[in-house]
Amino acid sequence: MKKVITKISLRITILAIVILAGSFLGFKLVKKPLTSEEYPKTDQRISDKYSQGSLEESSNREGITKDTKPMPLYGNWQTFTKKNGLPADKAYCVRIDGDRVLVGTSAGLAVYENDKWRTYTVEDGLAHPGVLSIDVSELTGDVWIGTLGGLNRWSAGRFETFNQFNSGLANDVIYTVICDGKDVWVATGGGAGSYDTYTGQWGIYTERNAPMHEPWTYGVCAGGGKIFIAAWGGGVIEYTTKTQLFRDYIDPDGEMEIDLFTDDGVIHDITTGVTYADDILWVATYFGLSRYDGTRWKGYLDHDTGLISNFINFLKANGPVVWLCTDMGLCSFDGETWVTYQKKENSMEGKILITNGDDTKEIASSTSIAHEFVIGVDTQDDVIWISTSKGVSRGELLK
C-alpha cells in the first residue's frame, strides 16, 4: 500500500502551521485593544425611541455610516411566546406577508393579524406541525410551507399537501422553500427539488444528477437567473435556469476543522443557508459567513470581524444588508458595518453591538430579542421579525 504521509509532506505541513500561527499572533499583537474610554459605558443607555439625530451623531462619531445610507438599527422589540398566543415557543421561521406575519413553530403555523394570533395545525390541513420554512409567491399570493412532514400550498384558506408518497417531492423534511416566479424550489433531506406550478412537473436534484456530495440540502435561494442550493457537505450548488446546468462551489482547502484561506472560496463545505440580493450571494455555514459577488469570494469569521458567531442557522439579504441568525444573537452586515442584537442574561433588556473595522460600540437597549438562538428573520419596510428558540420578536426601525 502506498504511504500517504511522507516525511517531506509532514515537514511542509508543520512549517505551514508555524507560519500561520505566527501570522495570527502578529495580528493579535498589532491589533490595538479598545481602551475603557472607547468602549461604550454600560449605563450609556439610549431609549429605543431615541431620535435619528442622536443616532446619526453617534454613528458619525464612530464612523459607521456608509455613503449617505446608514446601517439600519432596530429596536422597540416586542416578544411573543406561548403565553401570548404562539402555539409553541420554538419558532423556526418567520415571513412577513403584507399586513400579516406567518410564523412556523414546532406546533403549527401561527399567523399574526390584527394584533391576534391564529394557529393552523394538521387538523386544518397542515402537512406536519413542525413548520421549518415559509415563502409567499409574489405572483399569486399563495403561501408555500415547508414542514417536517411535507410541503403545503396554502391558498386562500385551502391547504394542499405534497409529500414523497403522493407527489414527486424528493423528501418530506423541507428545510427551505422558496418561490421563483411560477416555480417552487425546496431544500430537503433527500435532495433539492423543483415544482413547476404550470406543468406540475417535479425535479429532484441529488448527487445522482448534480454535483453534490450527498442529497442532504439545507437552503435554497433564487437570483440573477440562477438557483443556489446550500448542500450539506457539498458547498453551494448553482443551477442556471436558462441552461439547466449545474456547477458547484466548494471550499478549495477542503478542511473541515479550520479554514486555511478565508477568501479562497466558500468558507466551508457544510452550508446551512444561502441568500441573494443586489447581485451578491451570501452563504451561511456553521463555520462562518461567505460572500460571493460573481467573481470573488470573501469569508467572515467571528474572531477577526464583527460576526458575533460562526454558527449561522439562517440568513436573509435585503438589499445591501444581510441578516444572520446565529446562536449568539441576530447580526446584520452591509459589507462594512456589523450590528448585533443580543439579549442580556436574565433580563428583558438587550444590547446592540456595532462594529466597524476594529471598532466596536455597545449600545444598551431597554428591550431585547426573545432569545439569542435566532433561527429565522424577515424584514419589510420599517419592521423586522425574528424567530428564536424561545419565541418570536418584532422590532422597529429606529429613526
Q: What is the DSSP string of 114-169?
A: TTEEEEE-GGGT-S-S-EEEEEE-TTT--EEEEETTEEEEEETTEEEEE-TTTSS-
139 binds other proteins, rule: CB under 8 A? yes
The smaller minimum CB distance to other proteins, of residues 227 and 283, is found at: 227
Residues 50-69 that bind other proteins (CB under 8 A): none
The smaller minimum CB distance to other proteins, of residues 181 and 357, is found at: 181
Q: Minimum distance from CB of 197 to other proteins (Å)? A: 7
The smaller minimum CB distance to other proteins, of residues 159 and 261, is found at: 159
d(CA 305, CA 289): 10
Stretch that binds other proteins, among 71-79, 140-148, 229-237, 318-326 (CB under 8 A): 140-148
In sequence order, the β-bridge partners of residue 384 are: 379, 395
Looking at 250-373, which runs of residues are DSSP E strands?
271-277, 280-285, 288-292, 297-300, 312-318, 321-326, 329-333, 337-343, 350-356, 359-365
Q: Minimum distance from CB of 318 to other proteins (Å)? A: 23
User: What binding mask, one character per residue, do residues 155-184 give for other proteins by CB under 8 A, x or -?
Assistant: xxxx-x---xxxxx-xx----------x--
d(CA 360, CA 51): 21
The smaller minimum CB distance to other proteins, of residues 190 and 224, is found at: 190
Q: Minimum distance from CB of 222 to other proteins (Å)? A: 17
Q: Minimum distance from CB of 139 to other proteins (Å)? A: 5
140 binds other proteins, rule: CB under 8 A? yes
Query: With contacts defined by CB under 8 A, how many residues of the chain interact with other proteins?
Result: 30
Q: Are 188 and 219 in contact (CB under 8 A)?
A: no
Q: Are 272 and 313 in contact (CB under 8 A)?
A: yes
User: What does residue 160 show for φ and ψ, rounded to 5 degrees?
Assistant: -120, 130
Q: Minimum distance from CB of 201 to other proteins (Å)? A: 6
Q: Minimum distance from CB of 156 to other proteins (Å)? A: 4
Q: Are 72 and 64 in contact (CB under 8 A)?
A: no
Q: Are 236 and 283 in contact (CB under 8 A)?
A: yes
The smaller minimum CB distance to other proteins, of residues 90 and 95, is found at: 95
d(CA 288, CA 301): 5
d(CA 203, CA 213): 18
d(CA 177, CA 187): 7
The smaller minimum CB distance to other proteins, of residues 170 and 281, is found at: 170
Q: Minimum distance from CB of 127 to other proteins (Å)? A: 14
Residue 278 neighbours by CB under 8 Å, 6+ apart: 317, 319, 320
The smaller minimum CB distance to other proteins, of residues 171 and 272, is found at: 171
Residues 196-225 that bind other proteins (CB under 8 A): 197-204, 206, 208-209
Site of interaction with other proteins (CB under 8 A): 139-142, 153, 155-158, 160, 164-168, 170-171, 182, 190, 197-204, 206, 208-209
